[in-house]
Amino acid sequence: MGLYLSQKISKLNSLPIVGDIRSKGLMLGIEFVQYKKEKTPFDRGKKLSEKVVNTAFNKGLILFAEHGVADGDLGDIINLTPPFILKESVADEIVHLLEETVTEVQKQL
């Protein structure tokens, strides 16, 4: 299921603020960047990872926010760790909600 989720979630790489997606089994991390080519992090004042987490939570998806991954202060990442009993239909719903969430947040920027 880790491979299935990783393959499905890779489509989020096409979104402008997604800088990188990393995964190991069912643990996934998505890094957000202001400028994709240069991988420039967002200003910390934007609290981007927190906005993504809050927006996702309102849609029923629980994520974890991290920041400071670029230099100790800048750099936004969200982490996702679904249960080991994950089914394809639930993985598909997770990807759908994540895409909806990130698209909504980037429109607010």
Average pLDDT in the chain: 95
Average pLDDT (75-79) is 96
* Domain limits for position 104: 2-108
Band (pLDDT 50/70/90 cuts) for residue 84 is: very high
Amino acid 71: pLDDT = 83
Q: How many domains does the chain have?
A: 1
Q: What is the CATH number of the domain that holds 58?
A: 3.90.1150.10
- Torsion angle defined by CA atoms of residues 96, 63, 43 and 41, in that order, rounded to the nearest 10 degrees: -70
Q: Is there a contact between 91 and 5 (Cβ–Cβ < 8 Å)? A: yes
Q: Give the CA distances from residue 39 to residues 20, 23, 67, in Å, rounded to whole numbers and listed in that order.
A: 9, 18, 15
Beta strands in 33-72 (DSSP E): 64-67
Q: Is 72 left (phi over 0), alpha (psi -120 to 50) or beta?
A: left
pLDDT in the model for residue 68: 86
Q: What is the pLDDT of residues 30-74, one digit of tens each?
A: 999 999 999 999 999 999 999 999 999 999 999 999 998 888 789
